[in-house]
Amino acid sequence: MQVVEEPVPKENEVLIRVQATTVNDYDWSLARGKPYLYRLMFGLLRPKYTIFGMELSGIVEETGISAKKFVIGDEVFGDISDHGFGTFAEYVCVDENVLRHKPLALSFEEAASIPHAALLALQSFKIVGNLQAGQQVLINGAGGGVGVTALYLATMQDCVVTGVDSADKLAGLRQMGYDHVIDYRQQDFTKNGKTYDVILDCKTNRPPWAYLRSLKKTGTYITVGGKLSSLLGVLFFGRLSRLFSEKGMRILALKPNDGLEEIVNHYVGGDIKCLIDGPYTLDEVPDLVEYFGLGKHKGKIVVKVS
């Protein structure tokens, strides 16, 4: 483990004693320097952040001179990706506006696992508009952090939910509440003749016109991630398709922490459950980033720091 000096909060920052953090797609991408687009944002030849990690829960240890939102000892959590990285550490300084109070009903491990994936799901469905009872929803990449939260949100609205993922995850997905499951290696859901009101895609691995074919007349397709070339395809074809159809195609750009209070209330109320892989220890982080890359994790990979 690398030893660095304890950081000192700037005016509007708070120093957090990190209790738990998680491994995300960003960490895997920073470690590999791919997709290459990230190099424009995070460093051309090497990452400008030496400590990765962007989701945390922890305890306020010190406050900057203008930071007024929290007092020492407050339990907080949040996604800090808009304000730098650095949660794979015992201490990190964070702009106080990024953080929210951690509900007492949630453990530090649970709280750290929520902001990023859960808000990708919540913000996607907000773009679609209100889900209606009986609507057919398909989630591609159903067993990841986004897919599982999306399942809970859709079943809360009595939608009929189909999950697409790898064969070894399908039994678990059924148990979680998916009405129908599809093994993506056995069946291409865009070619089985079924149509959906909403398709939420975590992978974007089919051509855009194939998604359009799988939507009902006024259905919406929304993607949260995938290869840049595929996303550009969705952007271009989505605009084109509006000229001849009522179907919608959208790409979500996550607004970190936007809607966090709303989604976390569902966890506190028991409507949504955290699916945690771990917790692991801080010195396991390099291996965990590779483990994330292999895609074998089930739920959020959580690291208990203190």
Ligand X SMILES: NC(=O)c1ccc[n+]([C@@H]2O[C@H](COP(=O)([O-])OP(=O)(O)OC[C@H]3O[C@@H](n4cnc5c(N)ncnc54)[C@H](OP(=O)(O)O)[C@@H]3O)[C@@H](O)[C@H]2O)c1
**9, 78, 86, 145: residue in contact with ligand X (rule CB under 6 A):** 145
Cβ of residue 253: shortest distance to ligand X, in angstroms? 5
* Site track for ligand X across 223-252, x = CB under 6 A: -xxx-------------------------x
Cβ of residue 65: shortest distance to ligand X, in angstroms? 33
**146, 212, 263, 301: residue in contact with ligand X (rule CB under 6 A):** 146
Closer residue to ligand X, CB minimum distance, 72 or 127: 127
Q: Is 30 in the site for ligand X (CB under 6 A)?
A: no
**14, 67, 202, 264: residue in contact with ligand X (rule CB under 6 A):** 202
Residue type, 253: A
Which of the stretches 101-109, 127-135, 145-153, 257-265 binds ligand X when contact is defined by CB under 6 A?
A: 145-153
* Site track for ligand X across 100-139, x = CB under 6 A: -----------------x--x-------------------
How many residues contact ligand X, by CB under 6 A? 25
Using CB under 6 A, list all residues that contact ligand X. Answer: 25, 117, 120, 140-141, 143-147, 164-166, 169, 184, 202-203, 205, 224-226, 252-254, 295
